[in-house]
Amino acid sequence: MFYHSFREYVLGTAKVGIGLGVVSILARWITGNTIFASPEALVRYGIFGGIGYALMGAFGLIAFGWLGKRVRQEFSEGLTIGDYLRFKLNRSGYWVLIGVLFVISFETMFMQGLAAGVLVNILFGIPIPIGLLCFFLLCVLYAGFGGIVLIHRFAFIQVIFTFAAAILIPVYFFIEKGVEHVYAGIRLYHPYLLVANNHEGLLFIVCGMLIGFGQVFVDQASWQRLYMIEEKKIVPAFLLSGFIGATVPLAFSALIMIVIFTGGFHDIYSLLFGLIRKIDNPFLLVLFVLCSFSAITSAFGAGIHSMISLMVSNVYQLFKPQADERQKLRMSYLIAIILGVLSFLVTFYFTPSLLELLFFFGIIYAALLIPVVVMVLAKGKVSNFIPFSALIGMACGYVSRSYVGNLEAIWISTAASTMLVLLYLCSKAVGKHFAHE
C-alpha cells in the first residue's frame, strides 16, 4: 500500500462509523487466545471458566467505550495511546508507561505467534519453526507494510469466517450427536466441569475481569480504533463489540465439549487435535482452518501495526522531531521487519501455555487498571506517582507469585496499586483542604 503520510498509515484517511468500527474492534479481539485459552479455561475451571473468559473481554470493551468518550473529549487529535500519555503525564511517568506498553505489546504478538505455530503443526504436521517463519513473514507484509487500510480489508473476511464457524460447527455437532448425549457424557467423564459451587472458578471470573479491563484499557490497537471512530459513535461501537465478541469464546468452549464427552484427554493440544479429527465434514473443516488462521493473523497484524505506530509516533519522532512523512514511513517498515524477527526468535525458544502466559502478564494488566482510570478521569496532568504506583503493584504481584497462586497474585497487584493511588488522592485532598484554611 502507498501512503502519503504517517497519520494515514496509522488511522486511514477518514473517521469510521459504527459498522466498520465494530468489525475492526472484533478483528482485534477475536484472537488465538479465543481458540486456545477459552477451552483451556473451561477444562481447568469448569463452566465458570468458559463464562469468565467470555465476560472478561466483553465487559472490558463496553467499559472502554465510556472511558474512551472521555479521552476523545479531552484530547481528540491523537494517534496512539502514547500521544495521550504525553498529554497527561510528566516526562519520567511517560517513559515508564511507554516501557510497560512495549512489554505488553510484545506479549500480545508472542501469544498469537505461539498459537499459530501450534495450529500449523496440528493441522498440517509442518514443523513449528517453519510454520512460524511463514506466519511472521505474512503478518509483516500484510500489516507492517500494508498499514491500516489492508488490516481493515482483511478484518471483514476474518469476522465472516469467525462467526460462520462459531455458528455452523457447534450447531452441526449438537444436532448430529444430540445435546442430551453430550450432557450425559460430560456428567459421566467430567462431572467437575458442571460443579456450581466452584470457588476457584468464581475467583477466575473476578480475576478475569481485572485482567480483561486492564488489558483493554492499555491495548494500543484499541486506542487506535478509539481515535479512528467518529466521536459520537465510540460508545455504541465498543458496546456492540463487547456483546457480540462475548459469544465467540462460548462457541469455542462448546466445541471442546464435543471432544471430551466421549472420554478423557491429555492436554489442551490433544483436545484441539481431537476436535479436528471429529470434524468429518470437509466444508466445516476448511471453515475452521480459515477461521483459526484469520483470527490469529488479524490479531497479530493489529498488534504489530499498533506497536509500530507507538514506536514511530512516541519514540522515534521525539528523538528526531524534524523527520518528514517519508522518513517516518520508512522507519515504520524497518520496525516491522525487526519486530517480525524478534517475535520469531522469542516464540521459537519459549512455549508456555496461553492461559499461563495470560496469568503471568495479567499481573501487569491488573496493576495498571486503577492508575489508568484515575489518569483519564483526572483533569489536566497527573503526578508521576500514578504510573509509579502501577509499577509497585506489578512488583508486589510478581513477588507474591512465588508464595501464592496466579489468581491471588493478580489480586495482590491490583490491591497494591489501588491502595497507593487512593492514599495519594486522599493526601492530595487533605492538602487542598488545609491549604484553603
Q: How far apart, in whole angstroms, are the C-alpha atoms of residue 328 and residue 306?
A: 14
Q: How far apart (Å, rounded) are the C-alpha atoms in residues 160 and 162?
A: 6
How far is the C-alpha of 376 from the C-alpha of 75, rounded, in Å?
Answer: 10
What separation in angstroms does the CA of 1 have from each of 9, 213, 218, 241? 9, 34, 28, 28
| pLDDT in the model for residue 267 | 65
Nearest partner of 152 among 274, 27, 4, judged by Cα: 27
pLDDT at residue number 370: 93
**In this predicted structure, what is the pLDDT of residue 433?**
64
Q: Tens digit of pLDDT for each residue in 118-140?
A: 778 777 777 878 888 888 888 88
Q: What is the pLDDT of residue 344?
A: 85
Cα–Cα distance for residue pair 11/3, rounded to 1 Å: 11
Ranges under pLDDT 70 in the chain: 1, 196, 264-269, 351-352, 433-437
User: What pLDDT, on a 0 to 100 scale, did the predictor assign at position 4?
Assistant: 80
Query: What is the full DSSP assignment across 88-157?
Result: HS-HHHHHHHHHHHHHHHHHHHHHHHHHHHHHHHHHH---HHHHHHHHHHHHIIIIIITHHHHHHHHHHH
DSSP letter string, 228-283: HB-GGGHHHHHHHHHHHHTHHHHHHHHHHHHHHTTS--SSHHHHHHHHHHH---HH
pLDDT of residue 423: 92
Helix (H) / strand (E) containing 343: helix 325-349
Give the chain's domains with CATH numbers: 6-353 (1.20.1730.10)
Q: Which three cell numbers stand for residue 253?
A: 468452549
pLDDT at residue number 269: 67
Separation of alpha carbons 343 and 107, rounded Å: 9
How far from each other are the two terminal CA atoms of the chain, in whole angstroms?
Answer: 62
The length of the chain, given as a count of residues: 437
CA distance 120 to 113: 11
